[in-house]
Structure 1
Amino acid sequence: MDLIVNGGSPLSGTITPSGNKNSVLPILCASLLTNAPVRLLNVPAITDVEKLVSFFTEQGSRITWDRAAGAMTIDHGSFDADRLQGELPTGMRSAVLLFAPLLHRMQKLTIPAKAEGCSLGIRELDPHLEILEKLGAKVSSNGTLTLSLKNGFVGARHWPDYMSVTATENFVMAAVLADGESTLINAASEPHVQDLCEVLVAMGAKISGIGTSKLTVTGGKRLRGGTFTINTDYHEVVTFLALGAITGGEVKVRQSLPHHFDLIARAFAKLGVKVEHDGDTAIVRRKQKLVVEEPFTTNLLPKIEAAPWPYFPVDLLPCMIALAVRAKGAMQFWNKVYEGGFTWIPELSKFGAHVVVSDPHRIIVFGDRPLRAATVDAPYIIRAAVGLYMVAASIPGRSVVKNADTIRRAHPNFVENLRSLGADVEWK
């Protein structure tokens, strides 16, 4: 689907963001670790959640989901492993998060060797397979990928090459019911990884080091159910603050999790945007001047570097890039994670943006150039599609962001929220 955008008007108002996509997906997968009922609140009605729910029900699990209220109850007591014919949910990288939970239940899993996701470059399975092998699984591949356990997972120590969010989550889900103690050094510590760990602890798991790069898990025999609330999506908080800033409006976002915002607020400040907090409400005031902040070392370009947490989140770079297109001055952006993270940049030139791609990981944006309404093609990258919309919303006239429905993978009420802020936008 395409976004039809009539831009040039300030967006102002108050938004309540949805639950975090990157939290709810691993937590849904972790619900497979118990037969006790699990109730989740603030569940976003997004396509990836729909796919997991369909997958669970196809295997016999009982799920009730009040989409309007965001409440879901999951009961895997009737999950039938014999129904699974090897196909995991398609079109979502998060399907890899089913590896450890399904192995706990089935002891053997045979699946196609390719897992699809967004267009951010190579998303390898090796870190996941190394962790599962380290904890006692046998891995073989001959056209299909076969994972097997003899007597369940066994505690172990592992130090991967780099921090991987989903590999860390697979490690935790494998280790919580393993025999003995497991340690992961170089663990990812993103807020959504912390959310998964906190839910597992509430279910009875023993995990120490949450929020750090070293996780220690003491395995147990079983987990209990419970009721858990999915935390706010800080990506969505940043998105709507950035939309207020780029259009010159005033936007307030409730439930903003201020303790995650120190570095994010600094990135906004580098582009001339001040983010305020009133309790848990984040605010961008109207008519802020977008000007790149000059560094003290004036012979170097100002820059925003994105890497695994606690660096600036790489998924939020497109929002900052869109702001830089409108800001006076030049800003370098460095994506230290994905080699395909800037493939969408040529679409910005259709608006008249001046962006130089230095290499697959670095770009320089020369902002405050004359822009024009345009038709652009969004990649299958959620926040890149959002970034293209942001630029379109700042330009008077009619623009079209084609194939923008990937946004729905993370933002269940994107257009509805935009309209509540005064945007003239529709899906077509």
Structure 2
Amino acid sequence: MASFEVIGGKALKGEIVPQGAKNEALQILCAVLLTDEPVTISNIPDIRDVNKLIELLRDMGVKVGKLASDTYRFQADAVNLDYLDTPEFVAQGRALRGSVMILGPMLARFGKCQLPKPGGDKIGRRPLDTHFVGLEKLGGKLTLEGNDFYRISAEGRLHGAYMLLDEASVTGTANIVMGAVLAEGITTIYNAACEPYLQQLCKMLVRMGAKINGIGSNLLTIEGVERLGGTDHRMLPDMIEIGSFIGLAAMTGSEITIKDCQIQELGLIPDTFRKLGIQLEFRGDDIYVPAQDHYEISTYLDGSILTISDHTWPGLTPDLLSVILVVATQAKGTVLIHQKMFESRLFFVDKLIDMGAQIILCDPHRATVIGLDQRNRLHGITMTSPDIRAGVALLIAALSAEGRSVIENVEQIDRGYQYIDKRLTALGAQIRRL
């Protein structure tokens, strides 16, 4: 396992460009399976999870051509269905959470798919029921082998259906949409996810010939077509990276400009950081974060303690709560962080407490953070990254802390953040990969 050695307490300065969006990439890449024509995708991040998915597609028989450092052309005109029966496929599927999104396109186009229970972050229960219930309503028949291997098939073409999703799952909605675009008849999906990345998928499918109404809302109506064609697609910048860089600037008292942010797609993210007292300035599509020695958490109008919680879009993405929690440790004031979706995502706070943070873990979903107002700086320790988002939050904490920190298992960070050590070093951070 690789580690980062971090010497903290240094102010950073400069410009940084966010990578392409990881969570969009995992959907968009699976959508290439819906057509036998070429699909060109740009702004693809060079990160472990995305590269593993590209490798999986290649091994399934998809032609993959790298046109530039962030641009690939895919053509799924010779998919090898027999590969799904190999031990290699099982190993690849288990190693990657995003592999679940091959189910919808494979079922729609080829009438069958199978998959081991996908891997990914260990952040609590992440059931796949929404995926399978939706695909079954389209005509798929699910067989479960043991507790961790799924087979789904359909006799003939899928058919449209009405469905009210039990949760607005982003990946579940993506899978159902990709199944429905080639189904016969009309599919209506109520309580659909409407995140910008899901909107990007729908817009790409429309360019390929799909008929989708209601994009951006929680009610999607899809009229199935017989086939889809190729297209070109450019992915959005990663909103989680943008939020992470805002938090980094605040924690380290740094002056940073985040370039090309597609600000209109960030939802509540900028205003949430403003509630923590962080100054932001929009300069065109760039976000300028000035150096601040001090930032103060807002309260509600009646003076009660602020609560920051995650919610389905347009609420705050759960992927940023780890960063927001870390940033609050050096603010003036108190905030309750309420992580509703995953019951294990706050368990990294013991490492922050060891660094000197004042945090009360109320239960698996809630933590109260008493900000130190920069009076008592965090101090460096040796720690392990438990998942992607906690990993980058710990990296931000280490960069703000006094002394030397070592973060182990940084492969977790590499799964979601492209060349993060090199990019932050260019801003003046002292990070060494061991």
TM-score tier after normalising by the smaller chain length: over 0.9
5 Å matches for 1:198-217? 198-217=203-222
- Correspondent of 1:275 among 274, 280, 283: 280
Report the secondary structure of 2:287's partner residue: strand
For 1:136, the equivalent position in structure 2 comes to 139
- Correspondent of 2:306 among 302, 305, 308: 302
Q: State the 1:84 CA deviation.
A: 2.3
Q: State the 1:289 CA deviation.
A: 1.6
5 Å matches for 1:3-402? 3-66=4-67, 68=69, 70-85=70-85, 87=90, 88-112=92-116, 114-143=117-146, 144-261=149-266, 263-298=268-303, 300-368=304-372, 369-379=376-386, 381-402=387-408
Which AA in structure 1 matches 2:11? P
Q: State the 1:288 CA deviation.
A: 4.8
Q: State the 1:66 CA deviation.
A: 4.4
For 1:43 and 1:58, the matched residues in 2 are separated by 19
For 1:10 and 1:44, the matched residues in 2 are separated by 27
Whether the 8 Å contact between 1:163 and 1:186 is mirrored in structure 2 is yes
For 1:363 and 1:105, the matched residues in 2 are separated by 46
Report the secondary structure of 1:84's partner residue: helix
Q: State the 1:262 CA deviation.
A: 5.0
For 2:250 and 2:335, the matched residues in 1 are separated by 17
For 2:114 and 2:232, the matched residues in 1 are separated by 32
For 1:60 and 1:115, the matched residues in 2 are separated by 20
For 1:265 and 1:53, the matched residues in 2 are separated by 32
Whether the 8 Å contact between 2:108 and 2:183 is mirrored in structure 1 is no
Q: State the 1:370 CA deviation.
A: 4.6
Whether the 8 Å contact between 1:81 and 1:105 is mirrored in structure 2 is no
Which AA in structure 1 matches 2:82? D
For 2:267 and 2:165, the matched residues in 1 are separated by 28
5 Å matches for 1:406-421? 406-421=412-427
Give TM-score scaled by structure 2 length. 0.95
Whether the 8 Å contact between 2:53 and 2:98 is mirrored in structure 1 is no
Which AA in structure 2 matches 1:378? S
How many matched pairs? 424
Which AA in structure 2 matches 1:115? P
Q: State the 1:228 CA deviation.
A: 1.1
Which AA in structure 2 matches 1:342? L
Which AA in structure 1 matches 2:134? I
Which AA in structure 1 matches 2:102? L
Q: State the 1:110 CA deviation.
A: 3.4
- Tell me whether 101-110 or 13-22 shows the greater mean CA deviation: 101-110
Q: State the 1:341 CA deviation.
A: 1.5
Residues 133-166 of structure 1 deviation map (CA, whole Å, 9 limit, x = unaligned): 1111011223232211001211001112111010
- Tell me whether 406-415 or 253-262 shows the greater mean CA deviation: 253-262
Judged with a 3 Å threshold, the aligned counterparts in structure 2 of structure 1 residues 124 and 275 are, in CA distance, closer, same or farther, namely same
Which AA in structure 2 matches 1:356? I
For 2:119 and 2:152, the matched residues in 1 are separated by 18
Identity %: 36
Question: Please, what is the CA RMSD of the aligned residues?
Answer: 1.4
Q: State the 1:67 CA deviation.
A: 5.7
For 1:117 and 1:261, the matched residues in 2 are separated by 24
Judged with a 3 Å threshold, the aligned counterparts in structure 2 of structure 1 residues 302 and 427 are, in CA distance, closer, same or farther, namely same
Which AA in structure 2 matches 1:14? E
Whether the 8 Å contact between 2:41 and 2:234 is mirrored in structure 1 is yes
Which AA in structure 1 matches 2:122? S
For 2:341 and 2:231, the matched residues in 1 are separated by 35
Whether the 8 Å contact between 2:242 and 2:258 is mirrored in structure 1 is yes
Report the secondary structure of 2:64's partner residue: strand
Report the secondary structure of 1:89's partner residue: helix
Report the secondary structure of 1:308's partner residue: coil
For 1:171 and 1:25, the matched residues in 2 are separated by 15
For 2:201 and 2:293, the matched residues in 1 are separated by 37
The ranges of structure 1 where at least 4 consecutive aligned residues each deviate by more than 6 angstroms after the TM superposition are: none
For 1:161 and 1:16, the matched residues in 2 are separated by 37
For 1:205 and 1:289, the matched residues in 2 are separated by 50
For 1:386 and 1:83, the matched residues in 2 are separated by 35
For 1:331 and 1:399, the matched residues in 2 are separated by 26
Give TM-score scaled by structure 1 length. 0.96
Unaligned runs of 5+ in 1: none
